[in-house]
Amino acid sequence: MILLPPDLREKLLANGADRGSDHVPLLKLFNPCGAATWLASELYEDGDTLFGLADLGFGCPEMGVFSLTEIARIRLPYGLRIERDWYFTARFGLTVYADAARIAGRITEAEALLSTAARTRQLRIPRNPEIPRNPHG
């Protein structure tokens, strides 16, 4: 199976060229035998490095970069490989999926949890630029 068809590659590359935005994930990869799931919203110029949300099934999903080549090389029992979810359609930006994943301990598509994470994110008060940032976090 082709994990990243040309049309999707172009969309992810366009998002990768505009890294300042909270892009909607366009690609969902998953382990059909386990809990590992990846949501990708950007592809870097090298054509291999994806940016998104990765959940390897240990209860601590993280945003970051991962290699398409490495994911494609994974061999699973019964001759299976990592698959692309052909029916995945994101409704929110990647940060909403990350917020919901932190609450659930895994990447989730639960509508109620994603909607709550989206509302919470919308209600956050922007930082006042007149107040200096804390250099220690």
Residues 62-85 have pLDDT tens digits of 999 999 999 999 999 999 999 999
Look at residue 109 and tell me if it is in a domain: yes
Look at residue 135 and tell me if it is in a domain: no
Look at residue 32 and tell me if it is in a domain: yes
Look at residue 133 and tell me if it is in a domain: no
Look at residue 136 and tell me if it is in a domain: no
Look at residue 33 and tell me if it is in a domain: yes
pLDDT 10s digits, 83-136: 999 999 999 999 999 999 999 999 999 999 999 999 988 876 454 455 555 555
Look at residue 81 and tell me if it is in a domain: yes
In terms of residue numbers, what domain contains 78?
A: 6-123
Residue 44 CA to residue 60 CA, distance in Å, equals 24
Q: How many domains does the chain have?
A: 1
36 with 107: CB under 8 angstroms? no
Residue 54's CB is within 10 A of a number of other CB atoms, namely: 22
What tokens were used for 70? Answer: 């490495």
